[in-house]
Structure 1
């Protein structure tokens, strides 16, 4: 039986529909009605999403508050205060005095899903942080949810943390009562959406919905009832993501949501977000994910935001065509200018007839300049990564013989009876669900873990370089990238030589000499790559190397791996990187490793089919 509160909401909804059903909604300059997308707006301050809401968790906002001290943001609200859209004009962001955005325009419309792209350090995360902290005039009725840090450790279970929305539900009920007395068409649209959200948050189906979301993100039934404090940071990040998907705010801001997900969860999340009905802004380095989710792309370029319709592939095509036309126009103008200047110089003091023609061309030239000349196309800075020559060692480099492994005698087996070899021409991607043992296998290869049974033989001269996301934790944030590298490699005495080494990883000028704490996450990853590469490894073991890297750096990483002389084993959720650098796909599942007969995109299609079958079985 429905609750009394639910009955009241349904009655109010019917009454509102009767009194306002004939009124045409106000569009407020949005494209939403043209595209048949239902309008939605929310009420409430940032952080009113319950004590465990991502946008209000203490640890995340401590860091955001610290960053905000060094961030200066200005902007003017250009959309109607009651609109469901957010338009900010003259938006400028400075961080540590550096200009990230200058006099730019932010336009976010309901029903749109925006992919935010640009080079590391250009200000993407700063923009999301400024929106979440309301450093720009976002209307109060639009609630904001920023996913940037993991759910804080507590004694609550994962399921409880996701579905605890009493404060959110109460706030929406109060808003519904207020809007019910407002005859404005825009208020009616907001009211309909509030009723829809209250329906979604209804206590009678909250647990089923929360369990469905957690299952999609890889949580078993047992894990859903496990205390949050017992999870690692990566799993707590998934809980925070699940909460964001459960609440479905007016403005959802996701900063690299796929960083802690395996390929299975990435596919599920892509399917879940591609129908998000409100405003979604996502920073992602995965072109495949952006293609599946986004309706628009916002490109940070030269301290401005440029807007493109369509997904990432459409953006690439449109940008290429626009720049090609711009370059043709630029060349034509420059040719005309050169011709006119030459004519004026030759005949400006000639006969009366020629002098008049020269004066006419001078006027034409002035008009061209005054009306504004086409700018030369400026491309994004090219980034390069480089792995030094490692030299040759004869095979076999690594032999894995009858290896079985489990973490303790009372634990289940991760692997049983593995047999394979790794040489300097090995280019393999490890795929499979979380917990199947991909990272465990890399640790076994390096010797960080010892097999429970069997033997792993390594060449006596083998140097292994293992990259994982926790490597960044070893960086001394008070040192500059240059100082840190010279401390790690004291044999390199020449500062200029070290500058060249660090520069090969896309860090130049002030980025080399400012404290590492002032660098973006992606720039810190480049410092880590520089440190790793200069060990001259024969074998690269790369565990999620694309986390925090921009698309340009990922392409540069792919080129560097393809030029690398040694072997490589990759664990990644980036389908495109896997397709660029690997020759084989190994599936880690059911205590063994199986070679996938096909490429990574055929594997993705299989995951999509499996996800759809699994979802069909679940109540949601």
Structure 2
């Protein structure tokens, strides 16, 4: 069989049990969106599936995409490893042919082998890379010369190229610009086997998913339809469940009150009381409807810092080139607030210029002598000391907090409790690491670089609320339109290395352009 059906399914990882006595059901040809709050275990479920530590039949090949390709001397086309993939598929097809010459999996392998003809395969690999934003020149560039934001699409291209029978994607749109996201969505719609993906993009889930799996209270619950249909159906089911819950509780209260009043009255009243008592016992025995437990949304809080007189950061006529003869990334730049747009447009470069990590070629960047900047960077491992415990890391970052118990309370506000606080950070999942970096940013100015890459949709909304309540300045680099539309008001577009107000509507999936945009707050 090419489907996965596991009953009484439980999952344990690093002493945690995210799933207990539930059902795992994945059917061929279905595209599943895996939803649930940050830290509930979505990435853990994909990870253990990818390692075949879940009892999935061995003949189902699984590809789990989690990280960008490591830097090396290989070029993107070489990463596809066409010859290696062809040899592996041939061995697998030979084994299946001996077992069942008519099985669906064997037919799929034969089709893949036909497409792996050397000329066809290289052409298809190049086409996939082009769809993800790689020009012909970039396809011949060594991986070590790419930033992490470009090495992730290379890994994604390989996942799409090899067409496994089960494809597991954890936040595949991270590091992709809008055009690449649209291309990937169209490509994954045609995926004919099992696709399971975790994504913070509502549009992406709506465009691809045929089903949604919701992780909640250590169970997996299945819904038919895309993300919007899941939200609607879940709301309706929960409303009906609460109506049933309240009706049952009213009936129980009424019967208990009757028993208390008439249980020892006249014979007639006593018989009626006994009848109601039997009815109550039957209700209890058959199982009562549970109260709906809403997902606990994680709050964010950026505390106010001591005020300093303006300007906090002043940018005047700044220009920048990476090399003397290279292209001009910025020319006569004035200061902006939120940046989105295609990879390579210079969004990360601007944050590095403002933080002092890069020196500008011309113009002036002046920071207040007492300004404190809080910085969240999208590559979590570069920001965290993974060998420290969460408590040790936070005490090191914020020495002004002397008492461990006070810091424990602060960490607990971000849903890190108990053993998590004293365990090495390397044991945390990406979403949990993200919350560590965003926790307690005590500063005059926030620099947020793709902060929603590992956050779920509900937590993204909570982050937007915290940003809106933050009294000081903020610079946001993001591809997440859901966040940007909540925290900013005015749109700016960069053309020919200089900014101007965008007069048309906010760019969407249908009217995107190769330009990139900046939005500033209403203040």
If the length of structure 1 is used for normalisation, what is the TM-score? Answer: 0.78
Q: Secondary structure at the match of 1:315?
A: helix
* Alignment counterpart, residue 32 of structure 2, candidates 94, 102, 114: 114
CA distance in 2, matches of 1:477, 1:541: 22
SS at match of 1:469: coil
Q: 1:121-160 to 2 correspondence within 5 Å?
A: 121-160=39-78
Equivalent residue number for residue 435 of structure 2:
526
Give deviations 1:506-534, integer Å, cap 9, x for gaps.
33344333332332221122121125x12
Distance between the aligned counterparts of 2:309 and 2:423, measured in 1?
43
Identify the residue that residue 604 of structure 1 maps to in structure 2.
509
SS of the equivalent of 1:140 reads: coil
**Residue in 2 that maps onto 1:570:** 476
Hey, what does 2:172 align to over in structure 1? 257
Matched, 1:277 2:277: no
1:566 Cα offset (Å): 1.8
Contact 1:125 1:255 in 2 (8 A): yes
Counting only pairs closer than 5 Å after superposition, residues 461-540 of structure 1 correspond to structure 2 as 461-470=370-379, 472-531=381-440, 533-534=441-442, 536-537=443-444, 539-540=445-446
Say if 2:348 is the partner of 1:449.
no
Instruction: In structure 1, list runs of 5 or more residues that go unmatched.
Output: 1-82, 423-427, 611-620
- Report SS of the residue matched to 2:509: helix
Q: Comparing 490-499 with 365-374, which one deviates more in the overlay?
A: 490-499
1:373 equivalent in alignment to 2:288: yes
Say which SS state the counterpart of residue 357 (structure 1) adopts.
helix
Structure-2 separation of matches of 1:96 and 1:253: 21
| Alpha carbons of structure 1 residues 240 and 563: separation in structure 2 relative to 1, 3 Å | same
CA positional deviation for 1:550: 2.5
Q: CA deviation at 1:544?
A: 0.5
Change (3 A) 1:585 1:110: farther
Q: Say which is worse superposed, 509-518 or 567-576, in terms of deviation.
A: 509-518
Q: 1:609 offset after TM fit, Å?
A: 11
Q: Distance in 2 between matches of 1:566 and 1:490?
A: 22
- Contact conserved, 1:432 with 1:588, CA < 8 A, in 2? no
Q: What SS does the aligned partner of 2:241 have?
A: helix
Give, in whole Å, the separation in 2 of the partners of 1:90 and 1:206. Answer: 42
Give the count of matched residue pairs.
Answer: 515
Match of 1:618? none
2:455 aligned with 1:549, yes or no? yes
2:37–2:297 Cα contact (<8 Å) kept? no
Deviations 1:429-468 (A, max 9, x none): 3122211111111222223322211122334443332221
Mean Cα deviation higher: 394-403 or 220-229: 394-403
CA–CA distance in structure 2, aligned partners of residues 253 and 578 of structure 1: 28
CA distance in 1, matches of 2:480, 2:282: 50
Distance change (3 Å), C-alpha of 1:395 and 1:474? closer
Question: What SS does the corresponding residue of 2:437 show, helix, strand or coil?
Answer: helix
The answer (yes or no) to whether the contact 1:347–1:354 under 8 Å persists in 2 is: yes
Listed one character per residue, the Cα deviations across residues 194-241 of structure 1 (whole Å, up to 9, x for unaligned) are 333223322221122111111122222122112233333333322111
Q: Supply the distance in 2 between the matched residues of 1:406 and 1:554 (Cα, whole angstroms).
A: 34
Whole-Å separation in 1 of the counterparts to 2:453 and 2:221: 24
**Does the aligned pair in 1 maintain the 2:388–2:425 contact within 8 Å?**
yes
Equivalent residue for 1:325, pick from 229, 236, 240: 240
What does 1:337-376 correspond to in 2, within 5 Å? 337-376=252-291
Q: Contact 2:42–2:198 at 8 Å: present in 1 too?
A: yes
SS state at 1:451 partner: coil
Q: Where in structure 2 are there 5+ consecutive unaligned residues?
A: 516-523
TM-score (norm 2): 0.92
Measured on the aligned residues, the alpha-carbon RMSD in Å equals 2.4
1:404 aligns with 2:319: yes
The structural deviation recorded for 1:351 is: 0.4
3-state SS of 1:454 partner: strand
Tell me the equivalent position of 1:165: 82
* CA–CA separation in structure 1 for the residues paired with 2:59 and 2:514: 39
CA distance in 2, matches of 1:153, 1:459: 37
Check whether the contact 2:318–2:332 (CA below 8 A) recurs between aligned residues. Answer: yes
- CA distance in structure 2 between the partners assigned to 1:520 and 1:527 by the alignment: 11
1:227 aligned partner: 142
